[in-house]
Amino acid sequence: MKSIRNTLSAAVCLAALAGAAHAAGPDMKALMLQGHEKMMAVQMTGKPDVDFAIAMREHHVGALDMARWELEHGKDPKMKAMARKIMADQQKEIAQFDEFLARAGHKPAPAAPGAAGGHGDAHPQK
């Protein structure tokens, strides 16, 4: 039953991604699909707290990629401001997930681009 629920959940997510990606254009679609693939490739440990932190961390990295895309390609000042806020918020949460994972004895993933200690500009000016 759990497997069916997970499969249905993944199918619903993919359908939502496909619909949103079609409206956003091919570049956003590629980002969304890459993010989804990375999230689905995460190895689960069977420890709910660790698995949550690992999966959500990867989800937040995808949000950073999408926010960067908006800053590079978007035109609306309000959307660009939201993208900057999302980047700041997600970077803080990624750091919290990394701290938890380290305390839990789980080797943290490499720092996300733009995150503290990562690569890229944490606060793009576009």
Q: What is the pLDDT of residues 66-86, one digit of tens each?
A: 999 999 999 999 999 999 999
| Residue 44, in any domain of the structure | yes
Helix axes 26-41, 48-73, angle to 10 degrees: 170
**Number of structural domains the chain divides into:** 1
Tokens of 111: 């720092």
Question: Domain for residue 120, yes or no?
Answer: no
Quick one: pLDDT at residue 114? 46
Q: Tell me, what's the pLDDT at 31?
A: 84
Residue type, 82: M
Please say whether the beta carbons of 65 and 114 come within 8 A: no
Residue 126, domain member (yes or no): no
Domain limits at 80?
2-103
Threshold 0.75, pTM exceeds: no
Question: 118: which DSSP letter?
Answer: S
Residue ranges of the chain whose pLDDT lies below 50: 4-5, 7-8, 11-12, 14-23, 112-126
Asked whether residue 114 is domain-assigned, the answer is: no
Backbone φ/ψ region at 77: left (φ over 0), alpha (ψ -120 to 50), beta: alpha
Does residue 37 fall inside a structural domain?
A: yes
Query: What residue type is 91 in one-letter code?
Result: Q
Q: Is residue 62 part of a domain?
A: yes
d(CA 17, CA 34): 11
Burial classification of residue 124, based on how many CB atoms lie within 10 Å of its CB (0-12 exposed, 13-18 middle, 19 or more buried): middle
Structural domain includes residue 119: no
Domain presence at residue 22: yes
Residues 58, 41: Cα–Cα separation, whole Å: 10
